[in-house]
Chains A and B, each alone.
Chain A
Amino acid sequence: MRVNLVEPLVIQEENRLKYKSVFDIIGPIMVGPSSSHTAGAARIGRVARKLFGRQPKRAEITFYGSFAKTYQGHGSDVATVAGILDFDTFDLRLKNSLLLAEKAGLEVILTTSDVLTEHPNTARIKLSDDQHQIEIVGVSIGGGKIEVLEVNGFDLQLGFDTPTLLVLHEDRFGMIAAVAKVLTHYRINVGLMEVSRHDRGSRALMAIETDSTISPEVLEEIRQIPHIFDVSLLSLN
């Protein structure tokens, strides 16, 4: 007799469930035709834009996997650029984003890559102007939901469903405690926290998902903490 052992399915832990809300399933309201290749692409573009903080002059987009093979049919390029222009998934201007980008003086360079990525729908976006540059890697995991796996070379895993605080700081002791102290003072609850760094002692990126929104004065107070280089707050909702 031959017995085939079936490995048990790994159920994700509750706080790491990919889909947390009923509106991840029934939603988003969006312009068609694809939630992963249109709405998801737009959301990845919008995260990049929000991280950049203003309209960039140049957008370099690289598509991998299914994005690379089917972007024309799904309008993934159009949607990504719409996101970079800060349009939401249901914004009817989405369809004309390439023209609107040209009018706004945004140069778009699109590349497709054959490199294998872990997730089929992966996009790398680099935004820049004369002073500033950012780069993110985002994946569209289905139903319009996205995850950002890399921010400026730092490995992370962020969904941006809730307000997310990104703190770039020197990699040294006491940084997490200093930021946490400010959040505690304002009674802001932390849902999830990730820290990523390049090399020990260099720069590190702290990502904090919070349950409530964070006011500008709180951000300013965090910005005043010694050894912190940059603070930004991002949310897609």
Chain B
Amino acid sequence: MFRNVAELVELAESQGKKISQVMIEAEMEVSQRTRDAIMQDMYANLDVMEKAVRRGLTEDIRSHSGLTGGDAKKLQEYMKTKPFLSGPTLLNAVSMSVAVNEVNAAMGTIVATPTAGACGIVPGTLFAVSDKLQPSREEMVNYLFTAGAIGYCIANNAFISGAAGGCQAEVGSATAMAAAAIVEMAGGTPEESAQAVAIAMKNMLGLVCDPVAGLVEVPCVKRNAMGAAIATVAADMALAGIKSVIPTDEVIEAMYRIGCAMPNTLKETAQGGLAATQTGRMIEAKVFGVRMEK
């Protein structure tokens, strides 16, 4: 079993395998289950993701608080009617990522990747990039194993939850996972996947977890949007041969140290950052039906 990204890349490249295949074989070893059984479970995850994307793009999703919902559709509508600036794959990834996170905020069914707060980025980029690359269903499942392999390294060497390490640990991890998976689906090498992880994660360092009223809505939905954008661009950069000066595992270590140094007010306690703004507090008072005090 690999313990970090360097070991994962070494395993893959020395055996001439893709990261997804190394992950599937490691899972077979750890769980003592057959390849078929493991693939079936991941197909089930893929189906749930696909339904969540479709729901978010077609239904009128609105969260219980009324704070989020409908933005994924808005972006799709804009793409159909206006000469949008960034590319269609990028905006599709953003829109689909928002779609899944809006479904999550409305207590719909999703797959945690690696968490529910960051559940839009991996499926959002997957379905957007698939529109362009037209992969087989199996290649789409492999995308999830590659993303999982990177998440596995981050989770065991740092953290993946906002409460433990801030948003950099949550949306940051999802973004890094998606970047690596996009590279593999586009035909890049395991090393290029690792570079995409480093480039993506570097741009998430320091991001705090400051949900307004403690709800997984504001700013989570828009952070999922930009996570999908960063993942897609980081993948393109890595595929272009651009390398991170700081090695991937050291970037993950930096994320861990920053998370440890982050005050508790900025770790999903709704006490700092955007949650502590005037508007944030007003929303909090309204959601919980309490009186606002100066």
Could you tell me how many residues of chain B have their Cβ less than 8 Å away from some Cβ of chain A? 69
Task: Decide if B214 touches A36 in the complex (CB within 8 Å).
Answer: no
Q: Residue B69 at the A interface, CB < 8 A? A: no
Of chain B, the residue at the smallest CB distance from A33 is: B216
A34 CA / B147 CA spacing, docked (Å)? 20
Minimum distance in angstroms from A140 CB to a CB of chain B = 8
Chain B hits for A142, CB < 8 A: 114-115, 155, 159-161, 163-164, 169-170
A27 CA / B116 CA spacing, docked (Å)? 9
Minimum distance in angstroms from B261 CB to a CB of chain A = 13
Task: Decide if A73 touches B108 in the complex (CB within 8 Å).
Answer: no
Name A17-67 residues within 8 Å CB distance of B. 17-36, 38-39, 65-66
Q: Residue B110 at the A interface, CB < 8 A? A: yes
Of chain A, the residue at the smallest CB distance from B103 is: A32
Q: Residue B42 at the A interface, CB < 8 A? A: yes
Task: Decide if A39 touches B30 in the complex (CB within 8 Å).
Answer: no
* Cross-interface CB contact of B112 among A9, A22, A144, cutoff 8 Å: A144
Q: Residue A186 at the B interface, CB < 8 A? A: no
* Cross-interface CB contact of B113 among A26, A70, A75, A90, cutoff 8 Å: A26
Of chain A, the residue at the smallest CB distance from B214 is: A70
Task: Decide if A73 touches B214 in the complex (CB within 8 Å).
Answer: yes
Q: Residue B50 at the A interface, CB < 8 A? A: no
Chain A hits for B147, CB < 8 A: 25-26
Task: Report if A17-B156 is in contact (Cβ < 8 Å); known contacts: A26-B42, A90-B109.
Answer: yes
Q: Residue A220 at the B interface, CB < 8 A? A: no
Task: Report if A141-B151 is in contact (Cβ < 8 Å); known contacts: A70-B214, A120-B264, A120-B267.
Answer: no
Chain B hits for A72, CB < 8 A: 214, 288
Could you tell me how many residues of chain A have their Cβ less than 8 Å away from some Cβ of chain B? 45
Task: Report if A36-B115 is in contact (Cβ < 8 Å); known contacts: A70-B269, A142-B159.
Answer: yes
Q: Residue A74 at the B interface, CB < 8 A? A: yes
Task: Report if A32-B216 is in contact (Cβ < 8 Å); known contacts: A25-B155, A143-B155.
Answer: yes
Name B148-167 residues within 8 Å CB distance of A. 148-149, 151-152, 155-157, 159-164
Minimum distance in angstroms from B271 CB to a CB of chain A = 7
Task: Decide if B287 touches A73 in the complex (CB within 8 Å).
Answer: yes
Chain A hits for B110, CB < 8 A: 29-30, 32
Minimum distance in angstroms from A161 CB to a CB of chain B = 9
Minimum distance in angstroms from A126 CB to a CB of chain B = 23
Chain B proximity mask over A4-19: 1 for CB below 8 Å, otherwise 0:
0000010110100111
Minimum distance in angstroms from A211 CB to a CB of chain B = 6
Task: Report if A69-B269 is in contact (Cβ < 8 Å); known contacts: A34-B116, A142-B164.
Answer: yes
Of chain A, the residue at the smallest CB distance from B143 is: A26
In the complex, which of the residues A30, A33, A212 has the most CB atoms of chain B within 10 Å of its own CB atom? A33
Q: Residue B104 at the A interface, CB < 8 A? A: yes
Chain B hits for A95, CB < 8 A: 107
Minimum distance in angstroms from A12 CB to a CB of chain B = 6
Task: Report if A92-B109 is in contact (Cβ < 8 Å); known contacts: A22-B149, A72-B214.
Answer: yes
Chain A hits for B214, CB < 8 A: 69-70, 72-74
Task: Decide if B41 touches A38 in the complex (CB within 8 Å).
Answer: no
A34 CA / B117 CA spacing, docked (Å)? 6
Q: Residue A121 at the B interface, CB < 8 A? A: yes
Q: Residue B23 at the A interface, CB < 8 A? A: yes
Of chain A, the residue at the smallest CB distance from B104 is: A32
A32 CA / B100 CA spacing, docked (Å)? 10
* Cross-interface CB contact of B48 among A19, A29, A38, A144, cutoff 8 Å: A29
Minimum distance in angstroms from B270 CB to a CB of chain A = 5
Task: Report if A25-B107 is in contact (Cβ < 8 Å); known contacts: A11-B4, A142-B161, A142-B164.
Answer: no
A-B contacts, 7 of them at CB < 8 A, read A19-B156, A22-B149, A25-B160, A29-B45, A39-B116, A73-B213, A144-B115
Residues of B within 8 A of A (CB): 1, 3-4, 23, 26-27, 30-32, 38, 41-42, 44-45, 48, 63, 65, 103-117, 119, 122, 144-145, 147-149, 151-152, 155-157, 159-164, 169-170, 177, 211, 213-217, 253, 256, 264, 267-271, 287-288
Residues of A within 8 A of B (CB): 9, 11-12, 14, 17-36, 38-39, 65-66, 69-70, 72-75, 90, 92, 95, 120-121, 141-144, 211-212
Q: Which 4 pairs, one residue from A and one from B, show the smallest C-beta to C-beta distance?
A: A142-B161, A70-B214, A32-B104, A25-B151
